[in-house]
C-alpha cells in the first residue's frame, strides 16, 4: 500500500478546511441577520439603519427599534441577564412590526433565531 506523505499530517489540512468552513458560515449568518435588522429598521422608520452592519451598533439599533433607552446596551454585557434583556428587546421589536411578541422568545432556539429575523424583515 502506498503511503502518501505531503510533508505534514493530513489532520492539519482537515482542521484548516473545517475552520475555513466555520468562518464562512459565521460571516454568512452575520450578513443575513444584519440585512434583516437593516430592513426592519427601515420598515419601522428608525433612523440610522446602517448601524445594523456594525457589531455593537446593531445592539444600539435593536434598542432603538424596541423603544428602549440607549443605556440598555450596557445591560447586554451582564452575563445571564443579557438573555432576559435580549428577549425583552426582541419581544418589543416583534410588536413594532405588528407581529406576536412571543416570536421574540424563539430567538433563543438555535435554528429559529435565523428564521425569525427573516419573518420580521420580509413580511408585511
In a domain, 10, yes or no: no
In a domain, 5, yes or no: no
Among residues 112, 113, 87, the alpha carbon closest in space to that of 102 is found at: 87
Tally of domains in the chain = 1
In a domain, 25, yes or no: no
pLDDT band at 1 (very low <50, low <70, confident <90, very high): low
In a domain, 11, yes or no: no
Distance (Å) of CA 42 to CA 50, 55, 108: 9, 18, 24
In a domain, 26, yes or no: no
8 secondary structure, DSSP code: S
Q: Is the dihedral of CA 25, 117, 122, 36 positive or negative?
A: negative
Task: Return the ∠ at Cα 100 (arms to 97 and 102), rounded to 5°.
Answer: 120
Domain that holds residue 110: 32-122
In a domain, 27, yes or no: no
In a domain, 76, yes or no: yes
**pLDDT tens track for 2-47:** 666 666 676 677 888 888 999 999 999 999 999 999 999 999 999 9
In a domain, 19, yes or no: no
**pLDDT tens track for 40-97:** 999 999 999 999 999 999 999 999 999 999 899 999 999 999 999 999 999 999 999 9
Amino acid at each position: 500500500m502506498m503511503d502518501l506523505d505531503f510533508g505534514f499530517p493530513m489532520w492539519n489540512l482537515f482542521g484548516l478546511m473545517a475552520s475555513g468552513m466555520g468562518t464562512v458560515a459565521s460571516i454568512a449568518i452575520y450578513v443575513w441577520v444584519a440585512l434583516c435588522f437593516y430592513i426592519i429598521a427601515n420598515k419601522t422608520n428608525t433612523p440610522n439603519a446602517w448601524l445594523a452592519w456594525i457589531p455593537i451598533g446593531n445592539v444600539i439599533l435593536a434598542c432603538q427599534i424596541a423603544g428602549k433607552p440607549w443605556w440598555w446596551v450596557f445591560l447586554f454585557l451582564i452575563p445571564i441577564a443579557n438573555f432576559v434583556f435580549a428577549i425583552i428587546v426582541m419581544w418589543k421589536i416583534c410588536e413594532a412590526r405588528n407581529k406576536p411578541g412571543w416570536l421574540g422568545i424563539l430567538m433563543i432556539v438555535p435554528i429559529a433565531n435565523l428564521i425569525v429575523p427573516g419573518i420580521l424583515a420580509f413580511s408585511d
